[in-house]
Structures are given as C-alpha cells and as structure tokens.
Amino acid sequence: GQNIDQPTEMTATEGAIVQINCTYQTSGFNGLFWYQQHAGEAPTFLSYNVLDGLEEKGRFSSFLSRSKGYSYLLLKELQMKDSASYLCAVINYNQGGKLIFGQGTELSVKP
Amino acid sequence: DTEVTQTPKHLVMGMTNKKSLKCEQHMGHRAMYWYKQKAKKPPELMFVYSYEKLSINESVPSRFSPECPNSSLLNLHLHALQPEDSALYLCASSQDWEGEADTQYFGPGTRLTVL
C-alpha cells in the first residue's frame, strides 16, 4: 500500500522559520516533490529530492531521508504571501511514474 | 518558460450540457495529465497521455472523455455531468512519462460548477 502523512494545518509568525514534515510508506520510491498551492490557484513546483540530504533554494529548503521515509520543507524568513497549502508528493515508477500526493498542509502566516 | 495554459477559467454548466476544457503547453513536454481537485483535498489523477496516446485512465466515468489532438494540446470533453463533478480541473505536463526528473507543471485550472 501507499501512505503519505503530513500535518493538516500549521500556523507561524511572519519572519519566523517553519518546518513542514512529510512521512511516506510506498512500495516503490523514485523521488519526492514539494508543491505550493494558494487557494484557487494551481500547484507550483518548489523542490524535488531523490537523494538523501538537503536541497536549498533561497528561503526554501527540502530534506530527504530515504531510509526513514521522511522529508521536510523548511521555510525561512516567512512572509504573509507564504500562507498556502504545501503538498508533499512521491513519484513511484512501480506505478508508472504516478505522483502520489499527501493531503496537504495548510500554512497560515500571521503578522 | 514553464507555462501551462487552460481555458476557460470558470465554467458553469447544466447536467445535460456538453462542454470542453482546453489545455496547452509549449515546453516540448511529451506527457500531459488531467487532475480533479476538490476543496481542501490534493489533486486526484484522472488521465495521463504520453506521446499523444492515453497511458492511464484512473477508472474515470465515461462522461469525461479526454482527447490529445497533438503534443501541445489536451482537451477534456464533458457530457451529462453530475453536481458532484463540480471541482477544480487541473492540467499538467512533464518532460516524459516514466522518465527521470519528471517534474509536473500545472496550469491554473478550470473551476467547474455543475448545476
């Protein structure tokens, strides 16, 4: 079976750092994506991890541990515009390259 | 340029209507996707086209009919929909299907309301 877990909601303060965790159990694994989705808009690609370690892109970083089935998205210097849903998705070539999404984490950034 | 465009942005239709959603990308991607997304839920995969051929149909009801006229265009034909089909319909594309680094880029979606 496949299972991807992430918290439903998180709240953080403008200027702070927040870490959104994602754990997964899948029959095959070929990489993990993070997407950002503002209400009523399309998901926007943030990061892709296939090897263990940290990938940094400006204020956003994503970490992967394949042995632990664990990833996190780290957002630094939070801005109000970072309020959005953050989707963790695993790609599994045992299923022909389908993206398997978590339920999403709704992040609210408060002043 | 990682742009996927979709038209219309909003669509309201009755249960007896026939309408079509359109999606276009000019990134040279060979895989295109249709997703359905309900409020506060993740996108659900409906169809995958690879090299203009249907590769995956996720047991979608026949009232949804996809079409890929060429490598840049993807349509979703709608007929005799139900109110529960109201959702955001997202199109996405990626370099390839079952290849490496297949980041999917999403269009802005069509907000569909079925009355």
A102 Cα to chain B: minimum distance (Å): 7
Nearest-by-Cβ selection for B109 from A42, A89, A93: A42
Chain A, nearest residue to B109 by Cα: A42
Contacting residues of B for A103, CB less than 8 Å apart: 41-42
Residues of A in contact with B105 (CB under 8 A): 45
Q: What is the mean pLDDT of chain A?
A: 93
Range in A23-27, B22-26, B61-65, B95-99 with the lowest mean pLDDT: B95-99
Chain B residues close to A5, C-beta within 8 Å? none
The pLDDT of residue A2 is above 80 = no
Taking residue A32's Cβ as centre, other Cβ atoms within 10 Å add up to 27
The yes-or-no verdict on residue B101 having pLDDT over 60 is no
Rounded to the nearest angstrom, the minimum Cα separation between A4 and chain B is 12
Q: CB-based contacts of A26: which residues, under 8 Å, 6+ apart?
A: A2, A3, A4, A69, A90, A92, A100
CB contact under 8 A, A44 and B106: yes
Count of residues making up chain A = 111
Model confidence at B100, in pLDDT bands (50, 70, 90)?
low
Sign of the four-CA dihedral B47, B49, B50, B56 = positive
Q: Residue A48 has what pLDDT?
A: 93
Chain B residues in contact with A85 by the CB 8 A cut-off are 40
Q: For residues B90-109, give the mean pLDDT.
A: 85
Other beta carbons within 10 angstroms of residue B52's beta carbon come to 15
Tell how strand A53-57 and strand A3-5 pair up: unpaired
Query: What's residue B46's pLDDT?
Result: 96
